[in-house]
Amino acid sequence: MKLSSVVVTLILTVGIPYYIYTPLPAAIEEPLKLMLLDALFRAVLQVGDLCQCLGLSHHIPVIRGSVSGLEFLGEMAGGQGGGVRVSDVDFDGVPVRLYEPPAVGGGEGGLRRAVMFYHGGGWALGAAKMGSYDVLCRQMSDELNAVVVSVEYRLAPAVHFPVQYEDCLAAAKHFLDLGILGKLSVDPQRVAVSGDSAGGNLAAAVAQQISVDDSVSVKFSVQALIYPVLQGLDLNTPSHQQNHNMPILHRFMMARFWLLYLGVDTSLHPLLLSPSLLHHPSIPPSIRSHINWTTLLPAKHMKHYKPVGMETGSQEVTGQEGDLLPGLLDVRAAPLLAEQGVLGRTPRAYILTCEYDVLRDDGLMYTRRLQDAGVTVSSDHYDDGFHGALSFAHWPFSFDVGKRMIRGYMDWLQENL
């Protein structure tokens, strides 16, 4: 009995640190905390995968249930914006959480600013009511004296592209109606669209559509994108190669989120990660130029990485590629692919990127393409940042880099909205 206890203790003593440990760049200021967070997420993902393999449940609902405790902790931490009035309503059939500051005023004629916000989570996770997003939206409403609308769009696997996009667009059109803005005392010249990660994808896509839709008289005045995902054709950019195992968004997980969003078979995972996909002959050269990181990225972010797969493209569209490519080529799913004429009509932008994030290059390439189209862009890059850091700025994680991100984001909105 004693020997078995010693063996178990030894296994736990060695096994737990081994599971938690992940090599991290020296620039990460709080490595142990990030290792623990990453280990927690990996454990949740593995439990979800096990449940799906056993036929008990799809892995996504299991993951949602597993993180509910963390969401509760985030809600406990959210003491900011106590005077903000919060209500759950529908905008054209889409559930939204509406945040209204305690006092009217601050703008011309007592009108207020407004922010439409789309949460992240790979189009499958997250919620407007989730602790970290609720805290952020309360803070925005209180500090900016702004009406904030956080959209509860439908999620995969229950729905797939373009449903998430359509929900967000419908909510935006409803909100931008002059009658609705008037009821909420919102200045129609000071309305932002914003989101993080997959929410940044939705914000960019909606901003593009609203900018070219002549039936919508009120346009967004700014777009604020936080480490957005903007394309899925090339998952071999320098940032994907550099950060393929970087917490908390590993490259393989980003590919899984794309497959979930597009509603295609998970067996296409290797194809989506393959460097040959971008060079498939069915993809026009003009599309490739929109995501050609060798011309769009600053040299310091290209580093030693080289394009891969130039000569390995397939010669014909197989059934699998035929399922995958239409979604990846749709600008509603991949805003980085939009034509220059569309980009040039979008509002001035704030784009936050992190050095240690697979999505870094999406944001940097979009910054360059918007600038080339004549759009004013503020690029806010964090050399010590990692994906999701902004959502972990509060207890129980309280990453300092996340706090700095929130401060930079808020300051930009305060000055530009």
The active-site residue, picked from 187, 357, 361, 384, is 357
Tokens, residue 341: 């004429």
Tokens, residue 148: 């904030």
146-151 and 222-226 beta bridge pairing: unpaired
State how far Cα 312 lies from the chain centre. 31
Q: Which residues of 222-252 are buried (b: 16+ CB within 10 A; e: fewer)?
A: bbbbbbbbbbbbbbbbbbbbbbeebbbbbbe
197 is an active site residue: yes
Sheet with 186-196: list strands edge to edge: 85-91, 94-100, 146-151, 112-118, 186-196, 222-226, 348-356, 377-386
121-to-99, 357, 388 alpha-carbon distances in Å: 21, 15, 9
Q: How is 233-267 classified by DSSP, letter by letter?
A: S-TTSHHHHHTTT-SSS-HHHHHHHHHHHHT--GG
Contact, 249 vs 359, CB < 8 A? yes
The active-site residue, picked from 197, 221, 239, 274, is 197
Going by the DSSP 8-state scheme, the letter that residue 347 receives in this structure is: P
Contact, 342 vs 398, CB < 8 A? no
The active-site residue, picked from 167, 387, 391, 394, is 387
Number of helices and strands (H, E) in the chain? 18, 8
64-to-13, 71, 180, 265 alpha-carbon distances in Å: 29, 10, 33, 21
Contact, 278 vs 234, CB < 8 A? yes
Tokens, residue 348: 């001035």
Half-sphere exposure for 206 (CA within 13 Å, toward CB): 35
Contact, 165 vs 202, CB < 8 A? yes
Query: Nearest 5°: phi and psi at 155?
Result: -120, 155
- What positions carry a catalytic annotation? 197, 357, 387
